[in-house]
Chains A and B, each alone.
Chain A
Amino acid sequence: MKNIFTFFGLLLILGATKLNAQCDTIANFCHQNNFTVDYVSDGQNYRAFLFGDQEAEFETTFFGGVTYRIAACTGFSQGDLIFSVKDQNNNVLFDSIENQNSPYWNFKVENTITVKISAKLDDLENSSGCATILIGFKQ
């Protein structure tokens, strides 16, 4: 019985460590492949582990007069994570699925607004994965 508890204890630790390490590596991959020196990261990594049709969502403020870049990754090939930008009233302002699953998109913001960014897995490619979104702004 003691061995069984030890086994599952180890499984738990290894599983959590692996998922965290996976998210960590994907964030760096996503940054390296979608951000050039023109775009400065906002210093944060937005991520969640998703299954099936789950959707990750968070809000952010886009300031007027700034051009932003959003990059979305879930693995080591580009375009596996579908992302969209909606306003406070759920009007869709952008959806990557309508733009060939582009792994990044730029947003020229005329006036300061709050937006909701959401991401989901491309179900043709993945049934689970670490959804990672990065935001940068143009210098």
Chain B
Amino acid sequence: MKSSKSIVKGFGFLALSSILLTACPGNDTDKDPEIEIEDTTKTSSEGKVNPLNVVPVGGAMFSVPSPIQLGQIIQKSGAPYNADILNNPKAYESYVDLVSQSLNLGVYGADLGYCALYDKQQESIGYIRSAQKLSDILGISDAFDVETIQSVERNLDNKDSLLYIISNSYRKADDYLQTSDLKHIGALIIVGGWIESVHFAGILGRENKSDEVVEMIGMQKHTINTMLDKMLEQYFNEPGVEEVYNDLDDIRTSFNKVNIKYEYVAPETDKDKKVTTLKSKAIVEMSDEVFIEIIEKINAIRTKITAS
């Protein structure tokens, strides 16, 4: 009986531990050692947190920029709409494995956002239907259900509402995938969207290498480290994930040649308007050769993904 009690206690502890681990996957609090940071002021001690008590969110310590957000920066730069840079909306039929379906759902999300930003209504419909087909196959049809499609169709001439609906659909998909055993699919969707949006920026950069584009691409150094070390590395046991990791790891070697310096400037807060203005600066240093090397590698992986 004594041994039964021990087993029960042990199992109780295991049950509690498992619940906690399910809710808080991973506990990696490592810092990125590759980023060179310069600070002109003294570090605040108030902001320091006991590292043993910091929980990484969703197993990732870094978020990936939204493809719609990157598309918005490109559109605001004055770049004209270019249909040739988008994936073929009918290509979804040729994606037969979970990895290419997941990556291309992310690609279509970025394409959809791009079309919506440029008020391309018919093109938007084409991409949302492709996204719906892939999400059905992946078992996340709730994110692009009939109601969502109808809502998109009703709001085709209202860009703000359209972008709101699209981004919320991807958030719902992320929500579902984070609470299922399909987390690797969620990670691949995010990776696909990121590759497509950096591909857009690369095309723009080839035509006009403005400071804005250099900064946008250079700051992806943080993102690629997160995608590899915090997201994809967890799912090596899933078929095809390691290959995606290796392709991105090759791009990381080029990003490692980018230097980012940081300068702190005190922020200003307007409590009445609930707005804080952040004035600090990060300066991206990247040679022309490294810039071209990165966008060529991005283009190669993007071609591989969309052609598979």
Contact = CB atoms under 8 A, between A and B. Distances in A.
Nearest to B60: A58
B219 A114 contact: yes
B276 interface: yes
A11 B19 CA distance: 9
Contact of B47 (A38, A59, A91, A136): A91
A138 to B, nearest CB: 10
Nearest to A53: B53
A61 B276 contact: no
Interface in A110-127: 110-115, 118
A57 B171 contact: no
Interface residues of A, number: 78
Given A56-B54, A114-B282, A108 B15 contact: no
A106 B190 contact: no
A128 to B, nearest CB: 10
A57 B55 contact: yes
Contacts of A65: 73, 76
Interface in A38-66: 38, 40-50, 53-66
B51 to A, nearest CB: 9
A111 B218 CA distance: 13
A48 B58 contact: yes
A135 B63 contact: yes
A20 B58 CA distance: 11
B69 A24 contact: no
Contacts of B176: 24
Contacts of B41: 89, 91
Identify which of B15, B176, B267, B280 gathers the most chain A CB atoms within 10 Å of its CB: B280
A5 B11 contact: yes
Interface string A50-94: 100111111111111111000000000000000011111111111
Given A55-B54, A57-B55, 16 more contacts: A40-B167, A41-B168, A41-B171, A43-B109, A43-B167, A54-B55, A55-B55, A56-B56, A65-B73, A87-B264, A92-B47, A110-B277, A111-B278, A112-B282, A114-B262, A139-B160
18 contacts: A12-B15, A15-B15, A23-B179, A40-B163, A43-B109, A43-B190, A45-B58, A45-B175, A46-B58, A47-B178, A57-B55, A60-B62, A91-B47, A106-B274, A107-B277, A109-B277, A114-B219, A134-B171
Interface of B: 4, 7-8, 11-12, 14-16, 18-20, 22-24, 35, 37, 39, 41, 43-44, 46-49, 53-58, 60-69, 72-73, 76, 109, 159-161, 163-164, 167-168, 170-171, 174-176, 178-179, 190, 193, 215-216, 219, 222-223, 226, 262, 264, 267, 269, 271, 273-282, 284
Interface of A: 1, 4-5, 8, 11-12, 15-16, 19-21, 23-24, 27-28, 31, 37-38, 40-50, 53-67, 84-94, 99, 102, 104-115, 118, 130-131, 133-137, 139
